[in-house]
Amino acid sequence: MGEDRHTGRWLTHPITGLVVRTVLGSVFIYASLDKIKHPELFAEAVYNYQLSPEVAVNLVALWLPWLELLSGGLLVLGVWVRGSSLILGGLVVVFLAALVINLGRGLDIHCGCFTTQGSGPMTILTLFRDSLFLVLALFLFWLYQIKNVPVKFSLSRVFLRNNSKQLSSNQ
């Protein structure tokens, strides 16, 4: 009944994937920078969540920001997009669980999400913001894994194109 055959096509358009990849990847790159610069303050934020054994706090504070930086960077560059979106989605699920647990406990702690210096306590808005990040990660997973849309505007495509030209010229 007059249904537009183009409805929803924008969801699988390469530009949509590029925009969502760039936004989510940039968020995680930005979130990692202050944590990398101030690992001792980030370790304090991790400790305040009271979810990790004390022995694991420093380890988490050291590797987590680098995982965010690497996965976010790969997502922006369009390299290993399926794995990067899955990793970032998994991190967001863990972050959401930690937020829900500590909001439920009534703990008045700093999130440690984007800055290691106190930016105010966690609120329901923090939970909402992280839920939006999860939606973006799930969208990327759906787009590239389930719908199997090819990754466009990718640095890996540049390398693959150059390698195939080299291989054909060597034969």
Q: Report d(CA 74, CA 77) in Å as an integer.
A: 5
26 dihedral zone (left: phi>0; alpha: psi -120 to 50; beta): alpha
Q: What is the mean pLDDT of residues 152-164?
A: 68
- Mean pLDDT of all residues belonging to the chain: 88
pLDDT given at position 157 = 67
Reply yes or no on whether the pLDDT at 32 is more than 80: yes
The number of residues making up the chain comes to 171
Q: Are 115 and 87 in contact (CB under 8 A)?
A: no
pLDDT given at position 117 = 79
Bridge partner list, 121: 110
Burial class of 81 by CB neighbour count within 10 A (0 to 12, 13 to 18, 19+): buried
Reported pTM: 0.85
Reply yes or no on whether the pLDDT at 103 is more than 70: yes
